[in-house]
Each structure stands twice: as C-alpha cells, then as structure tokens.
C-alpha cells in the first residue's frame, strides 16, 4: 500500500483503521502512530523526563499495542487503550531504572518534593516553541510523577477526568486530587498565563515522528507479528 492510499485512509476513525489493520492492511498502522505520536510523546515524556528513552518506550508501546490489537474490544476509545499501554511501559521503565540507582527516602518523600528541571532546548524546540512554552515544559516536568502525568493529560491534552482515570487506572476522585496538588506545586497562575501557547509545548514533529514510525515497523519486520 502506497503513501497515497494511506493518505486517503487518514479520514478513518481509529477503530476503522484497527479493523483494516486486522484485515491485513498492516501498513495502515502508520496512521495510528502518526495520529497519536504527539500525545504519546507528551505522556511518556511526562513520566520519564528523557527524550531518547521516551522515544524508545513509545516504540515499545506501539509494538505491544500491535501484538494485542485483537484484544481491543471497543469498550473505551482506542486512544485511551493506547495511552494505558504507554503508561504501563513507562512505569515499567521507571521500575527498571530504580534497580540500578540507589535512592534515599521512600516513595512518599520523593513524590511530595517539587524538583524543577532545566530544559536545554534543541534546534527543533527553538524553532517551534515560544519562551512561554519552554517555561511550561519546565514547570510540568518539575512535578513529581504522580501529579505530572495527570496535569499532562488534563491540562495539556485536555482529556476529561473520566478519560484520564481510565488511562491511568485510578479513580476519578484521585485524578481530581492529583490535579489540584499538581496545580498547587506548579503555580496554577502559570497555566493561565501561558494559555493557548500550551499546545506548542513538547513538540513531536518531523524527524522525530518519522524515527518512531520507522523504528516500530523495523521491530515488527523482525518479528512474527507482521501478519496478525
């Protein structure tokens, strides 16, 4: 299937694309990846706070989703199902990290701290992000993980409380509590100040997008999963 055919299918819903992929049009999986790369990058980056590792986990999440595509039952939006896989893979990577690093204090102590991080903008960020967007990135990435991912899904991706709860496997009340705490730590006024510029934060376009798509197809080509 060529690029023209893929472009013609871009108007299909996620669920329709999944049906076509399961029917044998595996090349259409590219539509899923390009459609969700930006959102998955933001979610994974909010957990891992590392660009290179985030791309690797994204590829793993897409491969896992492809492996289990027949298990998607339309009980929730496909995007919610996909985000849950990405969150699971990200948290698994965090646990792997912890095995190699000795950290003082328990999880409660670490989660209650606000640890701002300095973001060194690369050329892509410099050309596509405003100063306010970089400030927003620093504020969000400085939050403890449990608040960081909720703020990302609710404030940046504009998912509803119910959708966020479904993505993370927590209650809606927990979403509300974590969002409130995250706002307090990051100073809620910052989000009001940034406004619509939030949408330009955490860019995942061009070369990055192509790299993830190519990486996923390379992994699939080396496995027995090309034909579902």
pLDDT in tens, 194-223: 565 666 667 776 778 888 999 999 998 887
pLDDT for the residue 127: 46
- Kindly give the interhelix angle for 78-98 and 161-168, rounded to the nearest 10 degrees: 50
pLDDT tens readout for residues 13-47:
999 999 999 999 999 999 999 999 999 999 999 99
Q: In this model, does residue 68 exceed pLDDT 70?
A: yes
- Average per-residue pLDDT in the chain? 81
| 170 contacts 154 by C-beta, under 8 angstroms | no
pLDDT for the residue 102: 44
pLDDT for the residue 6: 66
Give the single-character DSSP code of 223.
S
Higher-pLDDT residue of 147 and 205 is: 147
pLDDT for the residue 111: 45
For the stretch 5-24, what's the b/e string if a residue is b when 16 or more beta carbons lie within 10 angstroms of its beta carbon? ebeebeeeebeebbebbeee
**What's the CA gap between 9 and 102, in Å, rounded?**
49
The third-level CATH classification (topology) of the domain covering 3-221 is Rna Polymerase Sigma Factor; Chain: A (1.10.1740)
pLDDT tens readout for residues 89-115:
999 998 887 766 544 444 444 444 445
pLDDT for the residue 48: 92
Higher-pLDDT residue of 124 and 59 is: 59
- CA-based diameter of the chain, in Å? 55
Q: How confident is the model at residue 69 (pLDDT cuts 50, 70, 90)?
A: very high
Q: In this model, does residue 59 exceed pLDDT 50?
A: yes
Backbone angles phi, psi at 93, to 5 degrees: -65, -40
Distances (CA, A) of 14 to 6, 21, 62, 80, 104: 13, 10, 14, 11, 44
pLDDT for the residue 141: 84
Q: In this model, does residue 128 exceed pLDDT 50?
A: no
**What's the CA gap between 139 and 50, in Å, rounded?**
15
Give the single-character DSSP code of 24.
T
pLDDT for the residue 147: 93
- Helix, strand, coil abundance in the chain, percent, nearest 5: 75, 0, 25
Q: In this model, does residue 192 exceed pLDDT 90?
A: no
**What's the CA gap between 68 and 62, in Å, rounded?**
10
For the stretch 143-154, what's the b/e string if a residue is b when 16 or more beta carbons lie within 10 angstroms of its beta carbon? bbbbbbbbbbbb
pLDDT for the residue 107: 45
Phi-psi category of 118—alpha, beta or left, where left has phi over 0 and alpha has psi -120 to 50?
beta
Q: Point out the least confidently predicted range of 4-8, 45-49, 65-69.
A: 4-8
Q: Point out the least confidently predicted range of 149-158, 171-180, 202-211.
A: 202-211
Number of H helices, E strands in the chain: 13, 0
Domain boundaries, the chain: 3-221
pLDDT for the residue 94: 86
Distances (CA, A) of 99 to 45, 96, 103, 161: 20, 5, 10, 33
């Amino acid at each position: 299937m060529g690029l023209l055919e893929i472009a013609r299918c871009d108007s299909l819903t996620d669920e329709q694309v999944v049906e076509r992929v399961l029917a044998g049009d595996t090349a259409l999986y590219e539509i899923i990846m390009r459609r969700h790369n930006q959102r998955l990058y933001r979610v994974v980056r909010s957990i891992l706070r590392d660009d290179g590792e985030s791309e690797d986990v994204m590829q793993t999440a897409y491969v896992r989703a492809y492996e289990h595509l027949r298990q998607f039952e339309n009980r929730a939006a496909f995007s919610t199902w996909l985000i849950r896989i990405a969150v699971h893979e990200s948290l698994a990577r965090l646990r792997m990290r912890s095995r190699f690093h000795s950290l003082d204090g328990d999880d409660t102590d670490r989660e209650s701290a606000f640890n701002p991080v300095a973001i060194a903008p690369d050329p892509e960020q410099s050309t596509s992000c405003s100063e306010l967007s970089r400030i927003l990135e620093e504020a969000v990435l400085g939050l403890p993980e449990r608040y960081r991912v909720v703020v990302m899904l609710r404030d940046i991706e504009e998912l509803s409380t119910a959708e966020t709860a479904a993505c993370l496997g927590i209650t809606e009340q927990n979403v509300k509590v974590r969002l409130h705490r995250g706002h307090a730590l990051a100073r809620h006024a910052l989000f009001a100040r940034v406004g619509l510029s939030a949408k330009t934060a955490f860019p995942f376009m061009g070369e990055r997008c192509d790299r993830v798509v190519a990486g996923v197809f390379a992994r699939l080509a080396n496995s027995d999963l090309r034909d579902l």
